[in-house]
Amino acid sequence: MKIISLRLALQTAIFAIVFAAAGRAEVRGAAEGLQGKLEYCKTCHGLQGQGYRGYYPMPRLAGQQPKYLENQLRAFIERRRTNPVMFNVAHVLTPSMVEALAAHLRELNPEPYGGAPRESLALGKTIFEQGLPESNIPACSACHGPEAKGNNEIPRLAGQLFWYTEKALTNWTKERGQGSAQDTSAIMVPTTHNLNQSQIAAVAAYVSNLK
Amino acid sequence: MKLIKSTIAILAIAFSAAGSLSADESLQVRNCTWCHGTSAQGFMRAPRLAGQRDQYIENQLLSFKDHIRDNPRSQQYMWGAAANLSPETAHDLAAYFSTLPPNAADDGDATLAPAGRAIYEEGIAESNVAACVVCHGPNAEGVREIPRLGGLSYSYLKERLEQWGEGFHAAAGPMPQIASTLSPNEIDSLASYLSFVAYDSAQ
């Protein structure tokens, strides 16, 4: 009898939780929680963190290096990276939450978003693997790794949205490039200046297809 | 003489009827404008089609046909209207309506518009409300398959946002998730703001 009533109590409790969670008020109440924040990230960055092409391209976060994510979130707050929306988002995240979010996103591995133009993938591969010595462009793979997975503060490029990488490389000095002791984005300044627009498109298309 | 007069009268009627459909004489357009207004600016609860993104209109027409968009008014009016639509006709209708210049409905609560604008442009990070601007654009102009929201009517915008929270049109990710984070007051503010956003021909 005791077991039965315990089981009944447990079932009732589970039902209560399920019903409460279904309410809109509860969804907002959970906003402080990690799960709520994670879903918030995925609202814009894709339900599996694969990125999303809205009016602006929202980058893939899946499989990203935690160190890089932490640096960028700090860069938004310190206005080293200009983005009013991400400034607000980064502002409400505690360091421990950033750490937990980055650890979770690191483990996601959805298929690339796709949609990049296909006509200059060969040039993109050459730039990525060998660079263009005559234009002072080093091989991307030297720092980002042979599979473009990144390392610590150096970001993963594999599977990144074509339009995002293209925009980042085109506007580098406008949007970032100031760097800091932890943020190495200043390293990219000369390279982004030396790449022309069709080379940018080629390498952005190439890495967007890598898994 | 009497016969000539009546012939002229008939011709006059015929020409005036043609005038109201001058942009396109196809029967399909007229079937749309019965409800959406003669210049497709929206009428009563039927949303404006003028200036809407062509890929969006086309997708929606097909999603009515496939019953993916299942809002109450969709079921009542658009499921039937789209039932026998060929993909080619959906494409042509979308192309036609997207080229008409849209007028702003201007029918929201102006006192709520500043709050709506703040949500639209910045979101509310504390309560996990996404900023609409990142997908719908700085002037709510939309792009590709993402709809133009600027100047749609208050009542239409409000109803769509409410119904996502109620589980309708659940396949249209990520909108169901986003709308479910909005409070009734935030929905009111957003719908009000957007109703006043004017069309910029450059966008």
Binary contact (B134, A91; C-beta < 8 A): no
Chain B, residues 97-126, CB within 8 A of chain A, namely 121-123, 125-126
**Would you call B52 helix, strand, or coil by DSSP?**
coil
Chain A, residues 71-130, CB within 8 A of chain B, namely 84-85, 88-89, 91-92
Closest partner residue to B135 (CB to CB) among A24, A54, A84 is A54
The whole-number average pLDDT for the span A61-87 is: 92
Same domain, A167 and A188: yes
> B17, B14, B46, B5: which is closest to B155 by C-alpha?
B46
Give the HSE-up count for residue A96: Cα atoms under 13 Å, Cβ half-sphere.
Answer: 3
Tell me the pLDDT of chain A averaged across its residues.
Answer: 87
Q: Å from A40 to nearest chain B CA?
A: 5
Euclidean distance between CA atoms A185 and B58, whole angstroms: 42
Same domain, A81 and A166: yes
Please tell me the predicted confidence (pLDDT) of residue B19.
Answer: 37
Write out chain A residues lying below 8 Å of B146, CB-based: 54-55
The whole-number average pLDDT for the span A80-107 is: 93
Same domain, A23 and A93: no
Please tell me the predicted confidence (pLDDT) of residue B156.
Answer: 97
pLDDT band at B28 (very low <50, low <70, confident <90, very high): confident
Please tell me the predicted confidence (pLDDT) of residue B203.
Answer: 64
Q: Which residue does chain A place closest to B141, by CA atoms?
A: A55
Please tell me the predicted confidence (pLDDT) of residue A20.
Answer: 45
pLDDT band at B173 (very low <50, low <70, confident <90, very high): confident
Question: Look-up: residue for tokens 């497709």?
Answer: B40
Q: Which residues of B144-176 are buried (b: 16+ CB within 10 A; e: fewer)?
A: eebbbbbbbbbbbbbbbbbbbbeebbeebebbb
Please tell me the predicted confidence (pLDDT) of residue B25.
Answer: 63
The CATH superfamily assigned to B26-98 is Cytochrome c-like domain (1.10.760.10)
Same domain, A20 and A57: no
Same domain, A26 and A37: no
Residue A116 has pLDDT above 70, yes or no: yes
Same domain, A47 and A14: no
Please tell me the predicted confidence (pLDDT) of residue A62.
Answer: 98
What would the DSSP string read from start to end of chain A?
-HHHHHHHHHHHHHHHHHHHHHSHHHHHHGGGSHHHHHHHHHHHH-TTSS-EESSSEE---TT--HHHHHHHHHHHHTTSS--HHHHHHHHT--HHHHHHHHHHHHT--PPP------TTHHHHHHHHHH-BGGGTB--THHHH-TTS--BTTBPP-TT--HHHHHHHHHTHHHHS----SS--GGGGHHHHHHS-HHHHHHHHHHHHT--
**Would you call B146 helix, strand, or coil by DSSP?**
strand
Distances (CA, A) of A169 to A66, A139, A172, A197: 21, 15, 5, 9
Please tell me the predicted confidence (pLDDT) of residue B4.
Answer: 52
pLDDT band at A98 (very low <50, low <70, confident <90, very high): very high
Same domain, A142 and A183: yes
| Distance between start and end Cα atoms, chain A | 56
Amino acid at A96: S
Distant-in-sequence, close-in-space partners of A135: CB < 8 Å, separation ≥ 6: A194, A195, A199
Q: Are B85 and B171 in contact (CB under 8 A)?
A: no
Please tell me the predicted confidence (pLDDT) of residue A175.
Answer: 84
Same domain, A105 and A196: yes
Closest partner residue to A88 (CB to CB) among B123, B141, B180 is B123
**Would you give the distance in Å from CA A85 to the centre of its chain?**
15
Please tell me the predicted confidence (pLDDT) of residue B142.
Answer: 97
Amino acid at A34: L
Give the HSE-up count for residue B198: Cα atoms under 13 Å, Cβ half-sphere.
Answer: 2
How many CB atoms are located within 10 Å of the residue B9 CB? 10
Residue A11 has pLDDT above 60, yes or no: no
For residue B198 the two structure tokens come to 């004017």
Residue A70 has pLDDT above 60, yes or no: yes
Please tell me the predicted confidence (pLDDT) of residue A186.
Answer: 86
Report ipTM for this prediction.
Answer: 0.83
So what CATH class is B113-195? mainly alpha
For residue B195 the two structure tokens come to 């109703």
Residue B123 has pLDDT above 60, yes or no: yes
The answer to whether B160 faces chain A, any CB pair under 8 Å, is: no
Same domain, A46 and A101: yes
For chain A, give the percent of residues with pLDDT over 90: 72
Which helix (H) or strand (E) covers residue B39, if one does? none
Residue B120 has pLDDT above 90, yes or no: yes
Give the best-scoring range by mean pLDDT among A14-23, A30-39, B5-14. Answer: A30-39
Binary contact (B134, A55; C-beta < 8 A): yes
Residue A107 has pLDDT above 70, yes or no: yes
- Residues linked to residue B124 through DSSP beta bridges, in sequence order: B129
Euclidean distance between CA atoms B121 and B118, whole angstroms: 5
Please tell me the predicted confidence (pLDDT) of residue A30.
Answer: 42
Higher-pLDDT residue of A175 and A108 is A108
Residue A126 has pLDDT above 80, yes or no: yes
Residue B118 has pLDDT above 70, yes or no: yes
Residue A202 has pLDDT above 80, yes or no: yes
Q: Could you tell me the residue range of the domain that residue A121 belongs to? A: 33-208
Binary contact (A44, B134; C-beta < 8 A): yes
Give the best-scoring range by mean pLDDT among A18-22, B33-37, B198-202. Answer: B33-37
Please tell me the predicted confidence (pLDDT) of residue A5.
Answer: 53
Same domain, A93 and A187: yes
Euclidean distance between CA atoms A108 and A63, whole angstroms: 6
Same domain, A13 and A61: no
Euclidean distance between CA atoms A88 and B126, whole angstroms: 9
Closest partner residue to B135 (CB to CB) among A27, A31, A55 is A55
Hey, do B26-98 and B113-195 end up sharing a CATH topology, with the first three levels equal? yes
The whole-number average pLDDT for the span B108-118 is: 98
Write out chain B residues lying below 8 Å of A92, CB-based: 125-126
Residue A15 has pLDDT above 90, yes or no: no
Binary contact (A43, B174; C-beta < 8 A): yes
Binary contact (B137, A36; C-beta < 8 A): no
Please tell me the predicted confidence (pLDDT) of residue A179.
Answer: 65
Q: What's the pTM?
A: 0.83
Domain residue spans in chain B? 26-98, 113-195
Please tell me the predicted confidence (pLDDT) of residue B148.
Answer: 98
Residue B178 has pLDDT above 80, yes or no: yes
Please tell me the predicted confidence (pLDDT) of residue A113.
Answer: 97
The whole-number average pLDDT for the span A5-17 is: 50
**Would you call B43 helix, strand, or coil by DSSP?**
strand
pLDDT band at B16 (very low <50, low <70, confident <90, very high): very low
Binary contact (B125, A92; C-beta < 8 A): yes
Q: Å from A88 to nearest chain B CA?
A: 6
CATH code for the domain in which residue A48 is found: 1.10.760.10
Please tell me the predicted confidence (pLDDT) of residue A41.
Answer: 96
Euclidean distance between CA atoms B116 and A192, whole angstroms: 38
Q: How many domains does one find in chain A? A: 2
The answer to whether B174 faces chain A, any CB pair under 8 Å, is: yes
